């Protein structure tokens, strides 16, 4: 009888371990409709580079700040200057071209001179 209980417990444990492995490692819940602040660091930096490219043409810092709010958590304050600085650092460490680094630098400078106050992401 004791052996039967032990075997019963062992099969439960086996099933449990297998299911947890499947559920976490093999078939995790999909990340659909993820918020933008969960984008991988390189995608976030590329998004900021896009903002910098647009800013390089129109020079509109207010628009750039609003566009950077995309990467912020809804309703939370965010620091556009810090975002541009982070992207610049990421670009320097990951071999962005000098043209791209110049664009990010221009965005960073533009944000500093425009308004150092933090913005708030629209909920």
Q: Which of 90, 77, 88, 82 is nearest to 52 (CA)?
A: 88
- The piece of 15-23, 81-89, 105-113, 115-123 that touches other proteins (CB under 8 A) is 15-23
32, 78, 49, 44: CA torsion to nearest 10? -30
**What is the per-residue binding string for other proteins in 16-35, x denoting contact by CB under 8 A?**
xxxxx-xxx---xxxxxxxx
Q: Which of 82, 90, 87 is nearest to 119 (CA)?
A: 82
62 binds other proteins (CB under 8 A): no
Q: What's the closest the beta carbon of residue 15 comes to other proteins, in angstroms?
A: 2
31 phi/psi in degrees, rounded to 5 = -100, 40
* Chain residues in the site for other proteins (CB under 8 A): 4, 7-20, 22-24, 28-36, 38-41, 43, 46-47, 49-51, 53-54, 56-57, 67, 70
């Amino acid at each position: 009888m004791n052996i039967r209980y032990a075997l019963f417990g062992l099969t439960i444990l086996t099933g449990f371990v297998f299911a947890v492995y499947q559920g976490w490692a093999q078939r995790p819940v999909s990340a659909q409709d993820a918020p933008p602040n969960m984008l991988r660091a390189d995608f976030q930096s590329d998004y900021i580079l896009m903002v910098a490219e647009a800013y390089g043409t129109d020079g509109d810092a207010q628009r750039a700040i609003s566009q950077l709010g995309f990467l912020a958590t809804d309703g939370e304050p965010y620091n556009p200057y810090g975002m541009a600085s982070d992207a610049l650092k990421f670009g320097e460490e990951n071999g962005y071209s000098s043209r791209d680094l110049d664009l990010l630098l221009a965005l960073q400078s533009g944000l500093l001179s425009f308004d150092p106050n933090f913005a708030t992401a629209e909920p």
